[in-house]
Structure formats: C-alpha cells, structure tokens
Amino acid sequence: MNEMSTFTDKLVDFEVSMELELRRQKMQASSSSSGLSLTPLEESMITISDTLTSISRVQKHLRTREHRNSNTVASTEKRILWFATLESLAIVVMAGLQVFVIQNFFNKVRRGGV
C-alpha cells in the first residue's frame, strides 16, 4: 500500500523471463536424444535470437524511462506555472500596497507645521 498518496495513479511494470533455462532444457533434450551437437548455423540463430531479445528488453526499458521522465517534466511544468502565477500575483499586490502607502504618506494633513 502506498502510504504517501492514495489518490495518485500508480504504474507497476515488471518482466519475468526464463528464456535461457527453457533453451538449455531443449538443447539438453535434443543432444541426449539424437547425440548430435548444434551446427554453426543453429548456433548463429541462437546468438541472433539472444541479441534481438536483449535489444527488445533495452528498448522496453528505455520506453519506460522515457514515459516516467516525461511525466516528471509535465509535473514540473505545472509546478513552475503555479509558482510563477503566485509570484506575479504577489508582485501586483506589493505594487498596489506601495502605491497606497505612498499616497497616504503624502496626503496626510499636518497640523501646526509648515
């Protein structure tokens, strides 16, 4: 349970892979039943398959990171917008307050003085 926030969306992404274990079992079964070893073509195919699987995993990981980082950027942009809006409002209020104070300072009626 996420105790930090119960209202925000949560995204959980994980992958469980047993490719190497299954391949080892198939290779042991084929080598024990036929008594033959893998040909260079079959070894090349297995190497290419492993490489493509690795590339696919890296691409998925990079897509996940890009999605998470784009969400972070969007959240940061929203915060900057709100902070800038509040800062602008504070500047306008301070300017109005300064005008009011200066007007009262010069419009005071002084008694008994020049």
For residue 15, being part of any structural domain is answered with no
For residue 44, being part of any structural domain is answered with yes
The ranges of the chain with pLDDT < 70 are 1-6, 18-36, 109-114
For residue 97, being part of any structural domain is answered with yes
> What integer pLDDT is reported at residue 18 of this predicted model?
67
Domain count, the chain: 1
The amino acid at 112:
G
Contact 13, 62 (CB under 8 A): no
For residue 9, being part of any structural domain is answered with no
Please list the alpha-helical segments (H only) found in 1-114.
19-34, 40-107
For residue 87, being part of any structural domain is answered with yes
- Look up residue 85 and give its DSSP letter: H
> What integer pLDDT is reported at residue 3 of this predicted model?
65
Q: Phi then psi for 81, rounded to 5 degrees?
A: -60, -50
Q: Which domain holds residue 33?
A: 21-107
> What integer pLDDT is reported at residue 75 of this predicted model?
92
For residue 113, being part of any structural domain is answered with no
Whole-model pTM: value is 0.54
> What integer pLDDT is reported at residue 40 of this predicted model?
83
